[in-house]
Structure 1
């Protein structure tokens, strides 16, 4: 078991039920929350039959905290005293159990994907129209409005398409992701329901408070006001597009909580990586971090910036650097991270041309529960019945028990995994071979396997790599061209901060002066405006990076 730090023990032993934990990346937040939960139970702050409600924003975060809790609590206590869910899962459970109090049918179809986006594609709407439509519908539902009130709000000029989509949703008897928290808030407005949940949960734990929308915070407050532990970091608030308001939520939490614990030591990253992350602190609002053990990092770690003439040249260069890193430290993980999937395609091309193995996170089944479901389904898969089935996707849905899943993110993850299975089976891959490709849940998983990994910044949040190479630091890419307001530009800086803070030993930022459009035409790109900030960390240039790799003591580095 890991020896807790002084700050982690302070969180475990804090007497206040309303606690704010400011924990930047790599500071041991998940361990601290596990200790906090252990303390609440073992001190008797939460007594049986009450439970502790733990809310996360992703299934990977759920799995991380569940794994840490297994180190501190017996299985029976985990089962009887702990409830772990994401916000959409919590809202779905509230709806299924109490939809009647707001006059709705609890058997309405729960979301399992982007229904609005799918409808827009079917109608041939372009990207900008679809994005505006989704934003309009999302904003209309971030207050506790009934279906009739949403309909009335959308009955104004310019909202005709949104109103048509909303009425189609109601007609089909389904819910979208935006509907779930709206309806959950309406349900919890009934004191009899809120009292039931306040009695059931003696304390609430919110992981990653900076990702809360004001609506989600109101839901938390109805269940656990003044009995909630919030943990997170403003510098990692990168979900504004989903309605998160980090600064607004942070101010409300500071007003609620009587005790605040702030972390300042990183147990993950080298001094060089931390210097790069700290250099963005003026933009992100993050706390300055120091290394918990700076002398333990060979050469102090690595921070570098590389400039390239073209995106093709950048891809070749990154391929060579990544290959050199894994050759010298075969057990290490190299994360090649881009703001968007399309911007890293030149790196993918260079790796494929050299036949270098890499993990593409877009293809993986990253959710542990989904992986187990798929593996279980394929263990005794009846291939003959599948091949004879008139609707093969329906066969897979039935075989996996899809309809029994309530958690919307679990439904979406399983739906995507079943589509993946369908595509492989259609191409002649056997069920046993498909099962063998499901890595999560095995001893070696996608999220821990050594080697080269390609992913986006949002997907990589919460993960850790030994080395991180950030691709595409150009204006229009990072920061994104759609970021026009001060708040949106701040979030783009936080996206970069999240990318860099995944790194343990070293981080490399890369940009190209010319990047082809999707049509293949070269387009000039200016360097990202963020280079001005990170330059304060005095990163190495390309030549200095090569010298660092050549001269470093790789026996020591590879062993850390």
Structure 2
């Protein structure tokens, strides 16, 4: 063993060393977040080459991204002081492509076969739909269906369409698509892996050749494998193959795109004498963060089991903030970021993580208002998203029908059968006459200058714009935006979006309505719609930071996997939002949501904030919200409530009396709406069994670091802790706390019917009961 590799092996912890130096047998390495799985994989390959004397060409290493594959090759080269050439290290699709290029004849492909990217694939499908006279089916939906079938290893002939008309139609499109690809010598990404797997099945001699060649197969991120990828691995691995799989079942969060977490459990059953090694020492996060993550994920039933730990000390407690609404939540987060930066810390080490893309808007607005640069990682800023730009284009046409850019964007969005030839006719007429497209459209419709089908489609569009203008005339801005989103068909159109994106796009459209409901027109010379459109255009400015710049990172929890930050804000942790409403009644979905929360928590290295809002605007309407069950599942001793006044925090455990959320005043602590006894102590009592439902004596007054126990000095309106009050929406309750000063004073009221709520005092409308 070279001195360099020997020193590197000595630096590994015992389980890492056990995995790296395991004898040539099948092994499953359950690698927790931040436990050094890439180090183990690269050291394992170096060990095989230098100690086990495996030739580089006998090793196949498979991962999921080109970036991960490049990093693996680089690290191996550094360990062995040699070029990694000869090693087969790549993605599933990259390895499959290499095989098909070498064995194109056996695979039934032309030697010069071409690869279709996703855009090429959809163009081909669009042509097939046009040949069938179908101008309503979305090419992306057909592509999603075909790709999903290929991920399951299914050809068109394998699809059971009995009794399913839509499925029969899609299967027929799949057959036509297969035939078109065959004629053109083309393969898409899914076909690369499907056809290379068929090589193993249909060409046993070729499969056996590669079984003898690849004596060692290593797989990264094994929890993300789908049905076809796992079948490909099983077919390639022979009885003499050393299969080394590394993954974390607790970080399997891509079930919506075909990943099968159960592959990790099947691995133990399907490969004899498999050695299971657990990497549990975390090199990223503090002990408190890891303890919280362990306790949370322990609520999932189907796990291989592990317990993350660190020798870096407990660190700071997790800070929990109960916001009045999403605007208050965003203000709090951005103020914390300002304080972080003012202390000399880099903004790039801060991440705001959310479940849904639509949540980014409130944070973007606050960041821009305070001139803090930010980057939406792996996505677009709110007003730059396609569905938002579509809705805004409709509104621009309502405000100004002569806006040609808006006209071009939505004249056939959603698709209404208006072809390119018809649009080119409009453009030619507009150029010749120096007119807008809308003016030409109106003239042609009035003069009968369009063929029947085109006249019908364009007439329908013109009628829609006219109806939107009429419906919005004199109406509040929120109503105008609502009508545009609904009547245009955008919401229905995007709800059918493939690849699991439809729900998020609809949420974004709903958030646009919320933005309109909260918009304040500060320019009295502009009508509200024009002012709002100007606001949206300005918000699509230059606040977006470049990759690598010192700017705050905003991203969904799915985008955060594999990343880490010194300070993390996990926001919107509310029932129905996180976990999502769809997952609450489905155990498998709920467990994946919990794994997503686990991923979010373990992104934090030093400081973690968790926040939720007690009310949230949904489609322009303020609705009560309650803290997520995931907060309940974090041990109370790891949580500290954050208060607005000064820098003082309050440990959650100090507020407890027999259950999370039960404070010195009885049943109902913070966020207590809906989980047994008004708090979190007894979930079986949720939704309607609140001890506070019967009249109770007023709680005793107490000294508080957060408010004067008698009258708050400023902004309390004469109200006192312990006083019984009435609220227009929540009914009767008792004041239990105050915090903040002046216009930002908040009051905590324990309501008989709604549990404990924090309300902005100047907006609460409380009256003595």
TM-score range, shorter chain: 0.7 to 0.9
- Distance apart, 1:452 and its partner CA: 1.7
Is 1:499 the counterpart of 2:600? The answer is yes
Match of residue 212 from structure 2: 199
The partner residue of 1:273 within 289, 298, 301 is 289
The partner residue of 1:227 within 204, 220, 242 is 242
TM-score by length of 1: 0.73
Match of residue 27 from structure 1: 35
In structure 1, list runs of 5 or more residues that go unmatched.
365-436, 440-444, 551-560
- Distance apart, 1:342 and its partner CA: 1.6
The partner residue of 1:93 within 89, 98, 106 is 98
Cα contact 1:205–1:228 (8 A) shared by 2? yes
3-state SS of 1:266 partner: coil
Match of residue 476 from structure 1: 576
Match of residue 209 from structure 1: 222
Cα contact 1:463–1:502 (8 A) shared by 2? yes
The partner residue of 1:313 within 328, 345, 366 is 328
Match of residue 13 from structure 2: 5
- Distance apart, 1:67 and its partner CA: 4.1
Residue by residue over 1:181-219, the C-alpha shift from the partner in whole angstroms, topping out at 9 and shown as x without a partner, is 322221221212322322332311111111112321121
The partner residue of 1:511 within 612, 617, 621 is 612
3-state SS of 2:170 partner: helix
Range that drifts further, 97-106 or 200-209: 97-106
3-state SS of 2:634 partner: helix
Q: Distance in 2 between matches of 1:545 and 1:163?
A: 62
Q: Distance in 1 between matches of 2:637 and 2:18?
A: 32
Alignment of 1:81-480 (within 5 A): 82-105=87-110, 107=112, 109-113=114-118, 136-138=145-147, 140-150=149-159, 156-173=164-181, 174-189=186-201, 190-225=203-238, 226-253=241-268, 255-256=270-271, 257-284=273-300, 285=303, 287-295=305-313, 300-331=315-346, 333-362=349-378, 446=548, 451-480=551-580
Question: What is the RMSD computed on CA atoms of the aligned residues?
Answer: 3.4
Q: Distance in 2 between matches of 1:506 and 1:206?
A: 32
Q: Distance in 2 between matches of 1:243 and 1:269?
A: 30
The partner residue of 1:528 within 611, 614, 628 is 628
Residue by residue over 1:489-544, the C-alpha shift from the partner in whole angstroms, topping out at 9 and shown as x without a partner, is 11111111111111111222222233334x54444433323222124553111229
Q: Which has the higher helix share?
A: 1
The 3 A distance-change label for structure 1 pair 146 and 155 is farther
TM-score by length of 2: 0.54
The 3 A distance-change label for structure 1 pair 211 and 116 is same
The 3 A distance-change label for structure 1 pair 44 and 252 is closer
- Distance apart, 1:142 and its partner CA: 4.1
Residue by residue over 1:51-76, the C-alpha shift from the partner in whole angstroms, topping out at 9 and shown as x without a partner, is 42111122343344334324312242
Alignment of 1:47-58 (within 5 A): 47=55, 50-58=57-65
- Distance apart, 1:149 and its partner CA: 3.5
The 3 A distance-change label for structure 1 pair 544 and 353 is closer
Match of residue 489 from structure 1: 590
Cα contact 1:210–1:232 (8 A) shared by 2? yes
Cα contact 1:464–1:502 (8 A) shared by 2? yes
- Distance apart, 1:314 and its partner CA: 1.2
In structure 2, list runs of 5 or more residues that go unmatched.
1-6, 381-543, 651-769
- Distance apart, 1:269 and its partner CA: 0.7
3-state SS of 1:54 partner: strand
The 3 A distance-change label for structure 1 pair 198 and 343 is same
Cα contact 1:16–1:258 (8 A) shared by 2? no
Cα contact 2:161–2:168 (8 A) shared by 1? no
Residue by residue over 1:136-190, the C-alpha shift from the partner in whole angstroms, topping out at 9 and shown as x without a partner, is 545533444445435x758953314422442453254254444333222212212
- Distance apart, 1:273 and its partner CA: 0.8
- Distance apart, 1:352 and its partner CA: 1.2
3-state SS of 1:507 partner: strand
Structure ID, larger Rg: 2
The 3 A distance-change label for structure 1 pair 527 and 125 is farther
3-state SS of 1:89 partner: helix
The 3 A distance-change label for structure 1 pair 308 and 109 is farther
